[in-house]
Structure 1
Amino acid sequence: MGASYYQFCPVAKAMELLDERWTMLVVRELIAGSRHFNDLRRGLPRMSPTLLSKRLQQLVNAGIVERRPEGAEVWYELAPAGQELAPIVTAIGNWGVRWIGELGDRDLDPKLLLWDMRRNVDHAALPPGRTVVAFRFPSAAPQVRHWWLVLTAAEADVCDTDPGHEVTVRVTADLRGLIDVWLGNRRWSDALRRGDVEIDGPASLRRALPGWFKEMAYASVPRPA
């Protein structure tokens, strides 16, 4: 736990734990459904494994997270105290959508974008069999320019190297443009019309692709006038 504010106010006491760097984002990932260490890392790609381990242990010690060894694996789940943070995290996200200004270039992370899209796949809307969506972000750094989503009726995975399967649809996108679509700042149709997003493949699949993903959690938050 961080340094004390030495105030009896419950807000101050809560923030002694929760305002340490990355702590609330670890909670965010657990709320979103991540249960394993590696899944948490994929949702927090710029957090070091050492710091993630430290924050998880702090949350376990505080009674916010439960650590459950199962065979060779370890699961992390929110305890009741952690579950009560869910509406708080949602409220912070809603406020951020409404009042935080334009994203900086360093905020545009394709790894986080594809991981978030992966956990919002509408599996019932996918074509039969295996669907592979290849993404290319021409303006991104070479090492994070190419991504693949491998989707089936039961599973979804993100690959940063070619998985070797036949590609169903290819998406070429300006990274900022696709993130704007994902956040709900723009419509798919607008980004496609302006050329910020291009979809290559059979016409029926090009039209269907936006419907393969459920709306991101904050996409429907009303923006200020």
Structure 2
Amino acid sequence: MGASYGQFCPVAKAMELLDERWTMLVVRELLFGSTRFNEIRRGVPRMSPALLSTRLTHLTKAGIVERRTHGREVEYVLTPAGRELEPVVEALGVWGVRWAGKPADGDYDPKLLMWDMHRNVDHTAVPPGRTVVNFRFPELRGTGSAWWMTITPDSSDVCDYDPGHDVGVTVTTSVRTLTDVWMGEMTWAAAQRSGLLELSGAATLRRAVPRWFPPTGAALVPRPAAAR
């Protein structure tokens, strides 16, 4: 864990456990429902596996995470102490949207964007059966420039290789634009009108796509100008 601040203040004692790099983002992933090591990694794609293992070990020793084994399978689950961090993480997210400023160029990560969108699909809005959405980012090259999200009324999955199913609708845009849409900085309609985002496929599917990915989290936070 982090070095002691040498203070009895509860804030200082809490930060001794939580202020190491990536720690709160690991907690965020656990709060979002990830339990397996590789699931957590997909939510923190730029974190090394070794460091993630270290952080999970520290959180377990601190009583924030419980490590459960099922044969060869290992799950990481928040303890009651860990669950009590939920309003803290939510408050940090709200503050970050309102006051932390715009993301830098290097903050736009297609891996995290696709993972976050896939786990927030509104399954009540998708058509029956299987629908594949192909996301294309022309400014990128090679792996990560195209993603396939397979969604059904019960589940969703995302990968950076063609799963071999027919594509229902294709979204062509930049990582920055789609992130802005997902974060509530721009609507789907505004992105299309400006020519920054293009939807191709059957008309019924094109019209329905925004309903499959409704505003969540940061997109619902009032910005300072709106609050005034």
TM (normalized to structure 1)?
Answer: 0.98
Per-residue CA deviation, residues 168-190 of structure 1 (Å, 9 max, x unaligned), is: 10010121111001001111110
Query: How many angstroms does 1:141 deviate by?
Result: 4.0
Q: C-alpha distance in 1, partners of 2:162/2:63?
A: 41
Aligned to 2:172: 172
Give the aligned residue type for 1:116. Answer: D
3-state DSSP class of the match of 2:133?
A: strand
Give the aligned residue type for 1:179. Answer: T
Q: Does the aligned pair in 2 maintain the 1:120–1:215 contact within 8 Å?
A: no
Aligned to 2:196: 196
Where does structure 2 lack aligned partners over 5 or more consecutive residues?
Answer: none
Q: Does the aligned pair in 2 maintain the 1:35–1:76 contact within 8 Å?
A: yes
2:116 aligned with 1:113, yes or no?
no
What is the aligned-residue RMSD (CA, Å)?
Answer: 0.9
2:106 aligned with 1:95, yes or no?
no
Where does structure 1 lack aligned partners over 5 or more consecutive residues?
Answer: none
Q: C-alpha distance in 1, partners of 2:160/2:97?
A: 28
Per-residue CA deviation, residues 174-217 of structure 1 (Å, 9 max, x unaligned), is: 21111001001111110111111110001111000110123221
Deviating above 6 A after TM superposition, structure 1's stretches of 4 or more consecutive aligned residues are none
Aligned to 1:137: 137
**Residues 56-95 of structure 1: matches in 2 within 5 Å?**
56-95=56-95
Per-residue CA deviation, residues 50-89 of structure 1 (Å, 9 max, x unaligned), is: 1101100100100001111112211111101011100000
Q: C-alpha distance in 2, partners of 1:141/1:101?
A: 28
Query: How many angstroms does 1:128 deviate by?
Result: 1.1
3-state DSSP class of the match of 2:218?
A: coil
Query: How many angstroms does 1:46 deviate by?
Result: 0.5
Q: C-alpha distance in 2, partners of 1:30/1:140?
A: 30
3-state DSSP class of the match of 2:69?
A: strand
Q: C-alpha distance in 1, partners of 2:117/2:39?
A: 14
3-state DSSP class of the match of 2:76?
A: strand
What percentage of residue pairs aligned between the two structures are identical? 63
Aligned to 2:217: 217
Aligned length: 225
Give the aligned residue type for 1:89. Answer: V
Query: How many angstroms does 1:143 deviate by?
Result: 2.2
3-state DSSP class of the match of 2:224?
A: coil
Query: How many angstroms does 1:5 deviate by?
Result: 0.9
